[in-house]
């Protein structure tokens, strides 16, 4: 079976844009085939603004993500093997999807103020005395 990761990357990217937010990608730069400006790599990762106004010629295929971007007024061609994309998320809400080594995605959500969402509490069960009615 083919990987679902390129489809999920594209879908989350489109969802973020449709929501009016700025899409960002976190990339694992330690993997072979990643071509990004080395000066911007931190801890073998780079965070890229992939908003259409910040890049040119975005292509998301089954094998790679490619586009052109400017860093410090210098143009760079960016090539990212699809398995090197570790997250796609909205800058403003930090909502998006992270990918593990197998390319499986896990959705995550932050509140708009940047605080993590509250833990899900089990629903409170209201105890009522049983009541019977006669139905005719």
pLDDT at 124: 52
106's CB contacts (< 8 A; 6+ apart) are 97, 98, 99, 100
Query: 36: which DSSP letter?
Result: -
Tens of pLDDT along 104-118? 666 666 544 445 555
Q: Is residue 134 part of a domain?
A: no
Give the domain range for residue 48: 5-108
**Chain mean position to CA 87:** 4
Which residues, in sequence order, are bridge partners of residue 127?
none
pLDDT at 79: 97
Q: Is residue 19 part of a domain?
A: yes
Domain count, the chain: 1
User: CB–CB of 103/83 below 8 Å?
Assistant: yes
Q: The domain that contains 85 carries what CATH number? A: 2.30.30.220
Q: Is residue 69 part of a domain?
A: yes
* Spatial separation of the C-alpha atoms in residues 123 and 125, rounded to whole Å: 6
User: CB–CB of 79/66 below 8 Å?
Assistant: yes
- Which one has a higher pLDDT value, 127 or 25? 25
Of 5-14, 28-37, 62-71, 106-115, which range is least confident? 106-115
pLDDT at 100: 79
């Amino acid at each position: 079976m083919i990987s679902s990761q390129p489809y999920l990357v594209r879908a989350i990217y489109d969802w973020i844009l449709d929501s009016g937010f700025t899409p960002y990608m976190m990339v694992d730069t330690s993997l072979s085939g990643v071509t990004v400006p080395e000066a911007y790599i931190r801890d073998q990762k780079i965070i890229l603004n992939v908003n259409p106004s910040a890049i040119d010629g975005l292509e998301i295929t089954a094998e790679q993500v490619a586009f052109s971007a400017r860093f410090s007024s210098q143009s760079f061609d960016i090539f990212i093997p699809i398995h090197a994309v570790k997250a796609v998320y909205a800058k403003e809400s930090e909502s998006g999807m992270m990918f593990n080594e197998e390319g499986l995605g896990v959705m995550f959500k932050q509140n708009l103020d940047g605080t993590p969402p509250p833990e899900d509490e089990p629903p409170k069960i209201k105890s009522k005395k049983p009541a019977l009615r006669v139905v005719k």
